[in-house]
Structure 1
Amino acid sequence: MNSRFRYTRLAAMALSATLVLGPMNNAWADSQSAPVVSSVGTVSISDSSYFELKQIHVLPEASGKLATFTITIHNDSSNELQFIDYWVRLKSKTGNQFSARLLPADKDKNRVSPKSSEDLTFYATVNSDTNLQDLIVQFIKWDFSQSNFERVLGEVEVPDGYTDITPADGSSIISVGGNDVTASIKKFVSNKNEKYYVPTVYLTLENSGSHSVTIPSYLFSIRTPEGLLYPLEAKGTKNLTINPKESKEIQLSGSIPVAVAPDGWQLTLAEAIADLKMNIAIAAFQLPAVASQEEGSLGKEYSFTDKSGVYYAALNGLHRLPWEDQDIVTADLTLSNKGDDSLPIPALTGYFLLDDAVKVEANLVQTAKVIGLAAGSSVNLQIAAKIPYTYEFSQIKLVLQEKDADGDSTSSGTDTGSADLTDVLEFSSQAELQAIPYIGMGESYATTSAGHRTNYKIRSIQTYGGNTGSLFTAQLEATNAEKRYTNVSKIVAHFRAPDGTIFPADVAEITNKVSPSGKALINVSAKIPKGFSTENMNLMIGDAITEGELTVGDKKPDSYVNPVSFWLPDELKDAKSTLKGLTLYPYTITLDHISTQIDNSTFTLGFNYEIQKDLLIETNMEGHKLVLVFEDGKGRKGFEKSFEAKEIDPVDGDTPDTAGTKLKLGKHENFEISMTDEDLIYKSTFLKKYKLSLYDELDGQRRLLGSQDIDWFVTTD
């Protein structure tokens, strides 16, 4: 009797040790049961109570396979049911037995109240050749009247036709914190590069319960028919809370070697039990057919995904632009983030495919000063490539690609240009590319790239005459629309005649930063052959690009993007018959109190002058000269005096110059230009009138600002 009592005590202690194995795991407490599939089978406890095998999974692991199964104890009686009086055993149809243990989170579930039920989840390591349909769950009751102290209540065999995989168009119920969450797959997308498939699964979670739930940090994987597991990265699951009757969508993405057959893939959900150092299966889904990507067309928005999230891209326009003896083909794109979380800007590139035969590699250009996409924001991007200007094609396709930041090129420290590329979107168009936008006379054009917002407007045009041709110029007024001091973006410019003739233009770049709402005057010029009409000429500009980035500093542009053309106003022939109020915008120049004097062999031209400037205008007068031309009415005397226009603005330490070498801002009196002529005294009796003219000279060609006929030896007003 005593020996039997001791044996009974030992058996009870062993059972208690099994039930309390491992410490409590709080993470599992939020997910107390696996998904609800159709019941596998039931075993009676009494007339009013029974066990139900709700679901069972087999998941590969390092040492073989891990089986997990959930039973529900239904107590419909009026008395409490104690699970300590019962146990379950897992075995195979071939007779192998496997030790089943409770999850730590379920170790304290020893009692089932009347008229209630309780879920318990077990796990067991099984042989590597054991499949789901090989398993049997046996239910026992401890009975010390039996020789082995137990009585088998019944067992449930996993039917041959049973599956734990939710169909592609079905849903699975997951219990989270006692609330039911319905999980289903909305869409499955898979791209491909040279080394990997890049799958993306969109999983919808709907809270079917009556309380808000926070989704645990599940482990998501793709499982192949061979049992291979490839982890997926979840986007949008951190601290994800779902209110009752609310649905949330999460995105899962990863990579799978192309050597793996892309058929029969499944999505698996598991939860890591840190104390046990193992993953417990939660649910599995058959993946639907890959969603076909509609070929993109102009003006429509399409989505693509990567490991960071979901992006939307729209092709706004395709342009063909002149560049020396080549043409630049550019695509203008808008990249948007419509999600609730910020996204990084992906490493995009691409190529153009002409007539489905000729592949032209292209570079991505980002003109906006942004490092990411906030929720609900967008950014403009450009794709640019060069082709011979004589090449004709009938169809063009843009293939947008993403560089794999985790590719071998990054880890080896080599150029990321050799990273794996994944096609993400395609856009097609006929060869009739979009016309470059035209800005009407007097109208302004606003760029919207963050950090470079600028309003451009044509102020005036001028022609500088020469013997073999002329210099045609336009003054482009750029207003800083940013809220900070900023540099004026470098531009590339061309004058274009109505017959399509292109004249590349030089741009006098502005080196100083411009204040908010401040203006810069950009001088654009091109040499035009003698006799070539400039009537109906337009000015085409674009953001200057060097090696795929906005041109900065002393770098030389190798292309341009964001083209726009300005219709040019009529040229104002505003040369004056006086030397007062002459305009060389942003300067106004006045010469007065002009006088001549001869002292023996020295001739002196004297005058007062004033130069005013709009101080809110930044400009670059490099190459401009003010040329003062003196001509005697009888042709007896003449000379020229040049002043560098770039020296007009005062420099710290400069003092007013009256020695006839420099012109400076402000009012200056008694400015003199002197020269010596030994024969001048003999010519003085013929001196009656002279003409004094002021020219604006650029690259050796001149434009008259004003001239005035003056009597010798008389001081003007």
Structure 2
Amino acid sequence: MRDSFRKASIFVSAIVALVFLLSVVPASFAAANTATIVNKKVYITKGSYVQLIDANLIPSSSGGTASFTFTFYNGDNKDIILNDYWARLKSIGGTKYTLTLLDQTKKKIAPKSSATLTFYSQVGSKVTLDQLVINIIKFDFTVSGYERTVAKYTFPKGYSNFVKAGGFKTIQINNSNVNVRIDQINVTKKDKNYVFNLSYVARNTSKFGVTLPQYNYYVQTSAGLYKLALKNKTDETLLLEPTVLNAVRLTGNIPSSLAITDWKLIITNDVGSETSKVELPVVTFDIPFNLTTTPVGSSVTTFTNDSGTYEVTLKSVQRLPWTTKDHIIAEMVIRNKESVFVPLPDLTGQFVIDENIKLESKTVAGLEVIGLAPGASATVHFIGEIPFTYSWKQFNLQLNEKIGEQTTLLADLTKSSLAAVPIVKAGSVYTQSVAGSQLTAQVTDVRTYKGEDSDLYAVYVDVTNKQNRSSLLPTWAGYFKTIDGNYYEVKMVKANNVIKPSNKEQLVLYADLPVNANKEGIQLLIGEAYDDNGVIKGTGTAKGYIRPIHVELPVEKVDISSFKQMKVGPYTVDLTYFNAFMNGYILDIDMGATVEKDRMYDGFTQSKLTMVLEKERTNEVILTHTIDLEGNTEGGTTWKVGENYSELKKDMTTTPVWDNYTLNIYETFEGHKKKLASVDISWSTYINWVENK
């Protein structure tokens, strides 16, 4: 009994020891013949392991090509001799396949380093990965058959190594890790084919540049493989710099009779000599997509050219008066749909009116945008002319690209309704935020300058530079529109100075109006003027205008009783003292004024006041004198910022003089004048005629 108990104790102890030993022995020793989960590390010694990092199976001319890539890591203190290891491939039914090692120059792995080995083989056309078993064996002449399996890999039912839509895969190029993914797919139908355009992006995550191999590209459909070509020949030698995202664009024609479901992109690499060349799979992508179509009447579509994939939107169509015709302004927004920067394409546009009438158009040049960041957009204006009496029912914009002698139609957009011109309410600030022209504009005053045969109706506008750099601000063009529908061309006076950030310039927009023209309810229709060189900044002759606005104008100030707050350019003048008397035949005038200047103005043209003593009823003028706030008038009086006092004397020996006159302060503009303040005076040595006025 005691002996039996002793034997049992020894047996239990042995079992416990065995369990303990098995728990610390590497898995390959503990269960070399059991299937291993895909991509799991399998230890071949206590410190070294093998790992399946990639498995692919693609169609080939001889059936299929299967490839398997392993990483061997040496965690021990002596070299691993690679000639001691090999891979064996068979089907679960027992069919054996001969494997070839891709790189046979690798002979050993130094301690604490790794090596990647790829094996490949031809298999049957109906074989799938889940029907294959691949073993890593070590040659061992102490066992039967001289081979010992150290790792075994099988694949679950339905397994594939396809990259799902939206995913990416890390591939190796000359020992550099490169992440690749599908970026854009644009497929259109033309005649009997699908025009297939696809771009994928690659980012080198290693520290050294590597050249993209000259891969083969195929679309796999239910009917077979269709080869794609590189859109750009330069991609044949594309250098993938570290961390830089690069786009590779592919194109091809595929019969439109095929269903567009379950398509895949297969990328392969040639190995072997010309006589024994084999295409090994690099990566396979699922590429679900929708056919790109432009419905009749659509204002949005997508196109692909050699530079990338773009979305274009016909944002608005406007019709603006210009000389004896109307200008058609088609505003198009072009957006980069790719994940990399792309250039702004050089497009031409043709207007098609009511299906058959073709009008040539031109673009407004000089856009500040030359390239588009991922997802970014730019606005392009196409300009054409049409008789102002013609009304259309349908409008189309056809976008073309000309390369060499070949012109390609890229898009046909339509938007038959006219966009309303934005209205800026009286007193409101207009804000513009387009690239290269960030500004605000506000009407500050309306003045009618009287002349003998016509009036000059002038609008003062403050334009503020909202860019972060000094800049010439745009020139403006357009029309005044009266309430009865008449148009009068806008003329403009500006200083053409460079305006600092957040500073402003004063524009004077004016028109010659008949003396009897109705100014009530008059509107200002203006936009940025352009010529053949683009939007005019500085001087130039306008050939039209873009980005129009309708500005509602304030009521003109008619009160002339006050000599305070008289505005001229950036200056505000308060006439605080005026005394006039006759000293014999000498007219003696004493004047005092306070002058303030808004130093936010970098550009202005008005800086003078004209003082006149006259009898308005008889048009008798005995004194006209210029007050120049910039000091540029010879013979005039200069007033500077701050308090000013001036004495003016004039010999009246040959001039008839009455006892009373009217003092008028005018601002003059283009030979016309606007009365700002007025008071009746008489000669007195002590009366300040502008006191409390």
Structure 1-normalised TM-score?
0.62
The answer to whether structure 1 residue 536 and structure 2 residue 511 are counterparts is no
Q: Which amino acid aligns with 2:412?
A: E
The answer to whether structure 1 residue 628 and structure 2 residue 599 are counterparts is no
Residues 474, 525 of structure 1: 8 Å contact kept: yes
Distance 1:689 1:271 in 2: 104
Residues 630, 639 of structure 1: 8 Å contact kept: yes
Which residue in 2 is equivalent to 1:641? 624
Distance 1:640 1:379 in 2: 59
Q: Which amino acid aligns with 1:37?
A: P
The Cα of 1:537 is off from its aligned counterpart by 1.4
Distance 2:482 2:301 in 1: 38
Q: SS of 1:448's equivalent?
A: strand
Which residue in 2 is equivalent to 1:105? 103
Give the 3 Å change call, closer, same or farther, for CA 228–474 of structure 1 in structure 2. same
Distance 1:672 1:308 in 2: 73
Which residue in 2 is equivalent to 1:252? 249
Which residue in 1 is equivalent to 2:480? 495
User: What is the correspondence of 1:231-630 to structure 2 with a 5 Å cutoff?
Assistant: 231-233=230-232, 238=240, 252-253=249-250, 269-271=267-269, 281-282=279-280, 291-295=291-295, 301-365=300-364, 369-403=368-402, 407-408=403-404, 420-430=406-416, 432-547=417-532, 549-576=534-561, 578-584=562-568, 586-591=570-575, 592-600=577-585, 602-621=586-605, 626-630=609-613
Q: SS of 2:231's equivalent?
A: strand
Q: SS of 1:37's equivalent?
A: strand
Note the alpha carbon deviations across 1:654-708, whole angstroms, 9 max, x for none: xxx9x84243433432342524533x5xx56xx4222111112222222211112
Q: Which amino acid aligns with 1:528?
A: L
Note the alpha carbon deviations across 1:286-339, whole angstroms, 9 max, x for none: 9999945314757x6533222332222222211001111121111122222354
Residues 106, 120 of structure 1: 8 Å contact kept: no
From 650, 661, 665, give the equivalent of 2:640: 665
The Cα of 1:455 is off from its aligned counterpart by 1.4
Residues 486, 514 of structure 1: 8 Å contact kept: yes
Give the 3 Å change call, closer, same or farther, for CA 487–296 of structure 1 in structure 2. farther
Which residue in 1 is equivalent to 2:10? none
Give the 3 Å change call, closer, same or farther, for CA 255–530 of structure 1 in structure 2. farther
Give the 3 Å change call, closer, same or farther, for CA 716–377 of structure 1 in structure 2. farther
Q: Which amino acid aligns with 2:293?
A: Q
Note the alpha carbon deviations across 1:610-636, whole angstroms, 9 max, x for none: 4332221344326x8633221259969
Residues 39, 54 of structure 1: 8 Å contact kept: no
Task: Report the aligned-residue RMSD.
Answer: 5.3
Give the 3 Å change call, closer, same or farther, for CA 228–222 of structure 1 in structure 2. closer
The Cα of 1:548 is off from its aligned counterpart by 5.3
Q: Which amino acid aligns with 1:350?
A: G
Q: Which amino acid aligns with 2:648?
A: E
Which residue in 1 is equivalent to 2:683? 712
Give the 3 Å change call, closer, same or farther, for CA 450–229 of structure 1 in structure 2. closer
The Cα of 1:390 is off from its aligned counterpart by 2.8
Q: Which amino acid aligns with 1:74?
A: L
Note the alpha carbon deviations across 1:445-496, whole angstroms, 9 max, x for none: 2111123211122222222233433211112222222223222222213111
The Cα of 1:570 is off from its aligned counterpart by 1.6
Distance 1:274 1:616 in 2: 74
Residues 184, 204 of structure 1: 8 Å contact kept: yes
Note the alpha carbon deviations across 1:369-402, whole angstroms, 9 max, x for none: 3332223332222222222323332211011233
Which residue in 2 is equivalent to 1:135? none
Give the 3 Å change call, closer, same or farther, for CA 36–637 of structure 1 in structure 2. closer
From 29, 46, 59, give the equivalent of 1:37: 59
The Cα of 1:595 is off from its aligned counterpart by 2.2
Give the 3 Å change call, closer, same or farther, for CA 705–379 of structure 1 in structure 2. same
Q: Which amino acid aligns with 2:59?
A: V
Distance 1:290 1:438 in 2: 41
Which residue in 2 is equivalent to 1:7? none
Distance 1:635 1:501 in 2: 35
The answer to whether structure 1 residue 696 and structure 2 residue 672 are counterparts is no
Distance 2:377 2:649 in 1: 61
Distance 1:564 1:370 in 2: 23
Which residue in 2 is equivalent to 1:677? 653
Distance 2:415 2:612 in 1: 59
Q: SS of 2:555's equivalent?
A: coil
Give the 3 Å change call, closer, same or farther, for CA 229–375 of structure 1 in structure 2. closer
Residues 488, 510 of structure 1: 8 Å contact kept: no
Listed as ranges, the gaps of 5+ residues in structure 2 are 1-51, 68-86, 109-116, 126-163, 203-209, 259-263, 689-693
Residues 438, 466 of structure 2: 8 Å contact kept: yes
Distance 1:674 1:692 in 2: 16
Residues 480, 519 of structure 1: 8 Å contact kept: yes
Distance 2:564 2:180 in 1: 84
Distance 2:388 2:182 in 1: 53
Which residue in 1 is equivalent to 2:112? none
Listed as ranges, the gaps of 5+ residues in structure 1 are 1-29, 42-51, 56-71, 78-82, 89-101, 111-117, 124-131, 133-168, 206-213, 242-247, 409-418, 652-656
Which residue in 2 is equivalent to 1:74? 89
Which residue in 1 is equivalent to 2:198? 201
Distance 1:514 1:565 in 2: 25
Distance 1:674 1:499 in 2: 49
Give the 3 Å change call, closer, same or farther, for CA 228–429 of structure 1 in structure 2. closer
Distance 1:274 1:528 in 2: 86
Residues 627, 640 of structure 1: 8 Å contact kept: no
Give the 3 Å change call, closer, same or farther, for CA 288–631 of structure 1 in structure 2. closer
Q: Which amino acid aligns with 1:36?
A: I
Residues 35, 175 of structure 1: 8 Å contact kept: no
Q: Which amino acid aligns with 2:320?
A: L
Q: SS of 1:665's equivalent?
A: coil
Give the 3 Å change call, closer, same or farther, for CA 36–632 of structure 1 in structure 2. closer
Distance 1:295 1:219 in 2: 36
Give the 3 Å change call, closer, same or farther, for CA 87–358 of structure 1 in structure 2. same
Distance 2:512 2:460 in 1: 15
The Cα of 1:594 is off from its aligned counterpart by 2.7
Distance 2:325 2:172 in 1: 65
- The count of residues paired between Structure 1 and Structure 2 equals 545
Over the matched positions of the two proteins, sequence identity in percent amounts to 21
Q: SS of 2:103's equivalent?
A: helix
Note the alpha carbon deviations across 1:567-598, whole angstroms, 9 max, x for none: 1122221312x544433353222342332344
Note the alpha carbon deviations across 1:155-190, whole angstroms, 9 max, x for none: xxxxxxxxxxxxxx99xx9995699x9999984536
Distance 2:614 2:419 in 1: 55
Note the alpha carbon deviations across 1:113-136, whole angstroms, 9 max, x for none: xxxxx964599xxxxxxxx9xxxx
Residues 472, 537 of structure 2: 8 Å contact kept: no
Note the alpha carbon deviations across 1:232-277, whole angstroms, 9 max, x for none: 3469995799xxxxxx997624699xxx99999x988453669999
The Cα of 1:358 is off from its aligned counterpart by 1.8
